[in-house]
Structure 1
Amino acid sequence: MTYPMSYKALIIDDEPPARSIIRAYLKKHTAIEVVGECANGFEAMKAIKDKQPHMLFLDIQMPKITGLELLEVIDEPVQVIFSTAYDQYALKAFELNAVDYLLKPFDENRFDAAVEKVLQKIQSGDMSNQPQVEQLKENDSAALERIVVKKGTQLEVIDLDKLLYIEAQEDYVMIYTEAGHYLKSKTMKYFELHLPSDRFLRIHRSYIVNTTKIKGLEPYDKDTYLAILNPDCKLKVSRTGYKKLKEVMDF
């Protein structure tokens, strides 16, 4: 199919041979211009901002941050072709035809089919794939080991040991750490399901707390308490939350 304009692509993979294969396969796709290659999500964050690509060829398993973590913090509309060596990530979200994936090692015919699907989607003017990306992430049952947030144009990785608590903020959450706080477009339900249950507990409809940071409890009003993290940080505990705390802590 002939396309009336050139579309910009960014290749993001920590393995140079994988990036080389994608670049080689793209040579015959004259409607696509490769505007850059990135070896990790931190490089990719800047490149996406600077280059404004129409599409990403994005590895899922990468050091520092994963491809899915990168997608959580970019605001630019972009189409994604995932690549992965593990079919555990080939979940139902990929079958919705909003995004595509390549299971390594993939051949040129499979690559061409993915490229054509994404080009047609871009041509139609539909650049939205976030609901499908969110479904993919929600279906990933793996426990979180870290949280990736954006501060300005920079990425920061929060170690769970540094996490104090998470507060509900309508369609967002505010993540509080020892160093500061960060707004993130995620649900409380997501964090309740994915944070390690041996350290994190939902003590109130508005709060998920790192139980290792709780120094004690004090009465608030009838049948409710405050969890004391430090003299300047006290969180309301619901009756249900209090029962949960008593089960896991010596109160």
Structure 2
Amino acid sequence: MTYKALIIDDEPPARSIIQAYLKKHTNIEIAGEYGNGFEAIKAIKEHQPHILFLDIQMPKVTGLELLEVIDEPVQVVFTTAYDQYALKAFELNAVDYLLKPFDEKRFDDAVSKVLGKLQSGEESNQQQIEQMQEAKSEVLERIVVKKGTKLEVIDLDKLLYIEAQDDYVMLYAETGHFLKSKTMKYFEEHLPSEQFIRIHRSFIVNVDKINGLEPYDKDTYLAIINPECKLKVSRTGYKKLKEQMDF
């Protein structure tokens, strides 16, 4: 069987090295190479690759952000010059991880590992990748979402609030609303706490976008985003808002 692969890396020399190393692997076809996630997202949808050779640190959209928004099952080999993700990757046994510069033998080992998973019927390591993403402790500076076959980057200053939607969340931004496969707990833990507060089990709000509070029921309030958007505030949420906004 021939497996399709995409190479996604913002550095042309790095893509060329992977191309050269893959020449002897005749059962892997390079379906395309791309310098950024915006180009790659459409290609992943079009080609349905089995394997991604994916850089992590790329401008505009990182490799991990790209993986957050793809639905297609795929095996991933990370290629990167930065080692801060390596330990977590190996702890989770999520993917193989090639630290640049890597030699041909190390590359062949990674290919063998991925082919072994594909041939044994393991279609994707997406679950482990998601665990790796969830385990990352840094504070988010932006959120990447998918709209059709395009990517959009939401600056946190443009994010109004987040609403729970069963196993997903709905992000409401100044540019529109977007469904994302993440948990409220994830955003509560990874958004900057001085800017975003969970005011209700169903809502996390950007406190900079609150234009006032109005009574709703006994000991409960509504947070006013605009005249058409008012969000329920629980007692616990009101206490958090009172502490944060100093009123």
The TM-score by the shorter chain falls in which range? over 0.9
Q: 1:6 aligns with which of 2, 16, 25?
A: 2
Q: Distance in 2 between matches of 1:137 and 1:8?
A: 25
Q: What per-residue deviation string (whole Å, max 9, x for no partner) do you get for residues 140-165 of structure 1?
A: 11111111111111111111111000
What residue identity is the alignment partner of 1:94?
F
What residue identity is the alignment partner of 1:193?
E
Q: What per-residue deviation string (whole Å, max 9, x for no partner) do you get for residues 77-109 of structure 1?
A: 111001121211114343444421111111211
In structure 1, what is the equivalent of residue 64 of structure 2?
A: 68
Q: CA 1:224 to 1:91, structure 2 compared with 1: closer, same or farther past 3 Å?
A: farther
Tell me which moved more, 124-133 or 179-188. 124-133
Q: How does 1:166-245 map to 2 (within 5 A)?
A: 166-245=162-241
- Helix, strand or coil at the partner of 2:53: strand
Please state how far the C-alpha of 1:211 moved relative to its aligned partner. Answer: 0.3
Q: What per-residue deviation string (whole Å, max 9, x for no partner) do you get for residues 28-66 of structure 1?
A: 111111111000001100111111211000000001101
Q: How does 1:84-233 map to 2 (within 5 A)?
A: 84-233=80-229
Please state how far the C-alpha of 1:17 moved relative to its aligned partner. Answer: 0.8
What residue identity is the alignment partner of 1:126?
E
Q: Distance in 2 between matches of 1:34 and 1:229?
A: 49
Q: Distance in 2 between matches of 1:128 and 1:6?
A: 17
Q: Distance in 2 between matches of 1:110 and 1:97?
A: 17
Please state how far the C-alpha of 1:113 moved relative to its aligned partner. Answer: 0.6
Q: Distance in 2 between matches of 1:180 and 1:51?
A: 29
TM-score, with structure 2 as normaliser: 0.97
The runs of 5 or more residues in structure 1 that have no matched partner are none
Q: Distance in 1 between matches of 2:185 and 2:11?
A: 34
The question of whether the paired residues in 1 share the 8 Å contact of 2:3 and 2:49 is answered with yes
Instruction: Give the number of equivalent residue pairs.
Output: 247
In structure 2, what is the equivalent of residue 17 of structure 1?
A: 13
Please state how far the C-alpha of 1:250 moved relative to its aligned partner. Answer: 3.3
Q: Distance in 2 between matches of 1:95 and 1:162?
A: 35
Q: How much is the aligned-residue C-alpha RMSD, in angstroms?
A: 1.1
Q: Distance in 1 between matches of 2:90 and 2:203?
A: 32
- Helix, strand or coil at the partner of 1:147: strand
Tell me which moved more, 114-123 or 124-133. 124-133
The question of whether the paired residues in 1 share the 8 Å contact of 2:160 and 2:173 is answered with yes
Q: Distance in 2 between matches of 1:146 and 1:222?
A: 36
Percentage of matched positions with identical amino acids: 81
The question of whether the paired residues in 2 share the 8 Å contact of 1:93 and 1:135 is answered with no
TM-score, with structure 1 as normaliser: 0.95
Please state how far the C-alpha of 1:248 moved relative to its aligned partner. Answer: 1.1
